Amino acid sequence: MNTIYTKTGDTGQTSLREGVRVDKDDLRIEVNGQIDHLNALLGMVRTVALSDDEKTLLRRIQCEFMVVMSLVATPDGSTNPRPLHLAELTAEMEHAIDRLTAGKTLGFTIPGDNAERAVVHVARTQTRTVERRLWTLHRQHPLPTDVLTFFNRLSDYLFVLTL
């Protein structure tokens, strides 16, 4: 690509993979926009006081978002060429959740007592938005269940990072 602008979206349409044109408010484009937003928020979360292991896991999650976004942008009847690694990441998040919550009593928290944790809460709430939009998409364009489970577990993982 020699330039960032193509002018092909100036009329309210954009492309899925394989060049399939859809309206910019197509549900698949909306879902990818929500995932993109979450990706930016996780970038902010990685800048706050987390352990190196947590930062590494979050970066791997962010990289996997690109595969999920490719899947979401794959037209019906086509196959996404990029393999998903969501089951492995989900298992890693579950392990981290168990480690971080060992011996703790869990309950609701009110964001704002700590700036770093508040940023994590913002990412957690965006994760819930992504999850809801994925379920809507799933009814129209079925997704692998690993995708839905992954985002559910990600919100749990982000919650425990605020404890």
What pLDDT shows up at residue 96? 97
Collect contacts of 98-106 with beta carbons under 8 A, ≥24 apart: 100/160, 100/161, 100/163, 101/160, 101/163, 104/163, 106/163
What pLDDT shows up at residue 1? 60
**Is 13-73+82-101+108-161 assigned to CATH 1.20.1200.10?**
yes
Which residue stretches of 8-114 are H helix?
27-47, 52-72, 86-101
Could you tell me the pLDDT band of residue 19, with boundaries at 50, 70 and 90? confident
Could you tell me the pLDDT band of residue 107, with boundaries at 50, 70 and 90? confident
pLDDT digits (tens, 9 = 90+) for 68-98: 999 999 999 999 989 999 999 999 999 999 9
Classify burial at 31, counting beta carbons within 10 Å of its beta carbon; exposed 0-12, middle 13-18, buried 19 or more: buried
Which tokens hold the place of 23? 């309206």
Q: pTM surpassing 0.85?
A: yes
Closest CA to 56 of 82, 91, 86, 92: 92
- pLDDT at residue 142 is higher than 80: yes
CA atoms within 13 A on the CB side of 148: 13
Instruction: Note whether 125 and 37 are within 8 A (CB).
Output: no
